[in-house]
Amino acid sequence: MLSLIGILIVVVGFMARMNPLLVVTVAALVTGVAGGMGLVEVVETFGKAFEENRYVSVIWIVLPVIGLLERAGLQERAKTLIGQIHAATTGRLLLLYFVLRQATAALGLTSLGGHAQMVRPLIAPMAEAAAETHHGPLDDDTRHSIRAHTAAVDNIALFFGEDIFIAIASILLIKGFLEQNGILVEPLQLSVWAIPTAFCALAIHGTRLMLLDRHLARTLAQAR
């Protein structure tokens, strides 16, 4: 039970807005010692796990090319393109991206989106431009809220699309875990039951995106 102290450290540290790197490291060291490891052993476990998870940070290699294209006006071009399409509102644009992202993820094509390579250079500037076309200049709060919604669409569409694909990590994890407990299921049986939730996600978040357009119209009309 003593090992749960790490969770407490994380919760308190995050709420107190301390530097998360510091919070996580202290939590790891304390948890290890509380769980009966020696200090050297904890540092070794932490170092080994950090080293084995380097693949998580490989994605940053995309930054030079994204930065280079931004320098040449990629975001501005994306904005111009969307500004020319009058039917494109922020909500409709994000709904279209949601459907594309969810459908491609359901086919296992999870690498077609992503925050560094799609959201920042293309989708977020387009969503902002669509709002500017319809409602005029944006204040900072509105601009940031639109950006946050763009990131949210990428996440939600990915999470509730990918499980429909039979060879995705989470499906294989469920199958493996049930197998260890003597229950055999086929990946297809699992992925079929991800479909109802996928439709719920589309319905719920799609409705919210349509309401976002109305919310933008209301708040930005008041501001003027």
Partner 1 sequence: MIGLEVLYVIGGAFFAAIAVLSARDASNPKRWKNTAFWGLFAVSFLFGSHLPDFVNGLVVIAMVLTAGFGGLGQGLPATTGPEERRESAARLGNRLFLPALAIPITALAGTFLFKRPELAGLVDPKQATLVSLILGVFVALTIAMPMLRARPITPLQEGRRLLDTVGWAAVLPQMLAALGAVFAAAGVGTAIGQIASEWLPNGSQLAAVVAYTFGMAIFTMIMGNAFAAFPVMTAGIGLPLIVLRFGGDPAIMGAIGMLSGFCGTLMTPMAANFNIVPAALLELKDRNGVIRAQMPTAILLLLANTALMYVLVFRF
What whole-number distance in Å separates Cα of residue 191 and Cα of residue 167? 9
Is the Cβ of residue 20 or residue 136 nearer to partner 1 in the bound state? 20
Residue from 159, 210, 215, 219 binding partner 1 (CB under 8 A): 159
d(CA 200, CA 213): 20
Is 70 a binding residue for partner 1 by CB under 8 A? The answer is yes
For residue 137, state whether it binds partner 1 (rule: CB under 8 A).
no
**Residue 84 binds partner 1 (CB under 8 A):** no
Residues 183-222 that bind partner 1 (CB under 8 A): 183, 185, 189-194, 196-197, 200-201, 204-205, 208
From candidates 85, 134, 145, 166, binder to partner 1 by CB under 8 A: 145
Determine the interface stretch with partner 1 among 84-92, 131-139, 181-189, 215-223 (rule: CB under 8 A): 181-189
**Cβ 220 vs Cβ 136: under 8 Å:** yes
Q: How far is the C-alpha of 139 from the C-alpha of 216, rounded, in Å?
A: 11
Identity of the residue, 89 or 113, whose beta carbon is nearer to partner 1 in the bound complex: 113
**Contact call for residue 109 and partner 1 (CB under 8 A):** yes
Q: How far apart are CA 223 and CA 221, in angstroms?
A: 5
If one asks whether residue 7 binds partner 1 (CB under 8 A), the answer comes out as: yes
User: 2, 35 in Cβ contact below 8 A?
Assistant: yes
49's torsion region: left (phi>0), alpha (psi -120 to 50) or beta?
alpha
